Amino acid sequence: MADSTGQWHAAEARVAGDTVEVWAEAVKEPVAIRYAFAGDPVAANLYNRDGLPAAPFTSKEKPAPGIDR
């Protein structure tokens, strides 16, 4: 999760119905999130009801200034 200064922080998440809730204690004003955003995302652990893994994603195509994709 990226904060308003463009720094990325590890975040926690939980599935609540049809929603994934994401938070990070260090981030007061989140501006972007990304999931499994690496060449080899070994910690990817989000699956749908059919057991298929979620594809890597980012919440913004063009992150805010100062945010390193």
Summarised one tens digit per residue, pLDDT across range 12-23 is: 999 898 888 999
Q: Residue ranges per domain, the chain?
A: 1-38
Structure tokens at 34: 């990304």
Q: Facing residues of 28 across strands?
A: none
What are the C-alpha distances in Å from 21 to residues 15, 47, 51, 55, 66?
A: 6, 14, 19, 17, 25
Q: Which residues of the chain have pLDDT under 70?
A: 61-69
pLDDT given for residue 21 in this prediction: 94
pTM, rounded to two decimals: 0.71
